Amino acid sequence: MNKALIKTDFKFPGQKSVYKGKVRDVYNINDELMVIVVTDRISAFDVVLPKGIPFKGQVLNQIAADFLDATSDICPNWKIATPDPMVTVGHFCEPFAIEMIIRGYLTGSSWRAYKNGAREICGVKIPDGMIEHQRFHEPIITPTTKAETGHDEDITREEILSQNIISEEDYVLLEKYTRELFQRGTEIAAKQGLILVDTKYEFGKKEGKIFLIDEIHTPDSSRYFYLDGYEERQAKGEAQKQLSKEFVREWLMENGFQGKDGQNVPEMTDDFANLVSDRYIELFEKITGKSFDKEDVENVLERVENNINNYLEKQ
């Protein structure tokens, strides 16, 4: 039986609001703390799929917590505590309305656009003659809008500044943080025999100070290739061995779904959900170098609520 956590509806002391994202349920406590529950929901093509993935929330939350700790010297981040394997409590920040996507390789959506003739992504020019999964000369930043509903949209640096979405001073700092975080993530991944291919970062502000918020370097926000054999596979024109959510997107595309109007989400069996779960756990163990300890999920909703309440009572 699939015991994934796909919905929460908690009422905490001091709770002012709750925001339900594609994967995360975000509880605002007195405009001071954010309590984020990383559910087992899974999304692709900006659509939440109907079946949850067991242990996915625990995987994402624990990877993100590790990387927030490992990058706190680069820029301040929102994390304060992780009172449950699926929960992070942190600073309440006002988020910027864009996501900072950085790509080290031509793959995924960027490759699909390139293959269809695009030679510019978010104002960044891409040279002719590149092949799928090829490394860029240097990583490129391709920001998107952060849509509350529907699809995020590509946006250029110039559009962000001309539309006064973010001040130039702040945006320059976001670019600096983005490149330095990606470099750190690349170095950590390499030690574990992986390539950090691309990822996204989100930032917010509290009392005039920029914080890194949300998750970082998880399989939901990032793509990883195996380092061993990368060059050989490229030379032979073979598909890269990767650990990311891309295989879920590929499964959906094979079953006729890309999030477009009129398309129906294919049925996801428990067997397939468990296969996806295994892939998430594999990435956890590969990127962290730790064994994954499955938390008891018999009464997962009650466990999460109790752990959060116990933490908040001590504040």
Domain 95-243 belongs to what architecture? 2-Layer Sandwich (3.30)
pLDDT score, position 155: 96
| Helix then strand then coil, % of the chain, to nearest 5 | 30, 25, 40
Q: Tally the C-alpha atoms within 13 A of residue 128's C-alpha that lie toward its C-beta.
A: 0
Q: Is the four-CA dihedral 49, 55, 59, 60 of positive or negative sign?
A: positive
- Two structure tokens written together for 115: 């293959």
Give the 3-state secondary structure of residue 213: strand
- Sequence ranges of the domains in the chain: 95-243
Could you say which DSSP state residue 192 is in?
A: T
User: What is the model's pLDDT at position 2?
Assistant: 67
Mean pLDDT by 10 residues, the chain (315 residues): 88 96 95 97 89 95 97 98 98 96 96 96 96 97 82 90 96 98 97 96 97 92 94 95 82 92 90 91 91 95 97 94
Contact call for residues 1 and 297 (beta carbons, < 8 A): no
- In sequence order, what are the beta bridge partners of 87? 37, 84
Q: Which residues have CB under 8 Å from 269's CB, separation 6+?
A: none
pLDDT at 34: 97
- For residue 140, which amino acid is it? I
Of 156, 116, 114, 120, which Cα lies nearest the Cα of 134? Answer: 114
Residues in Cβ contact with 186 at an 8 Å cutoff, skipping those fewer than 6 apart? 104, 195, 196
The whole-number pLDDT of residue 149 equals 60
| Cα separation, 126 vs 264, whole angstroms | 34
Looking up tokens 């993530």 gives: 185
pLDDT at 210: 98
Count the neighbouring beta carbons within 10 Å of the beta carbon of residue 288. Answer: 17
Please name the helix (run of DSSP H) or strand (run of DSSP E) that holds residue 164, with its range, or none: none
pLDDT at 151: 67
Q: What is the pLDDT of residue 282?
A: 86
Q: Is 277 left (phi over 0), alpha (psi -120 to 50) or beta?
A: alpha
Of 246, 182, 197, which is closest to residue 45 (Cα–Cα)?
246
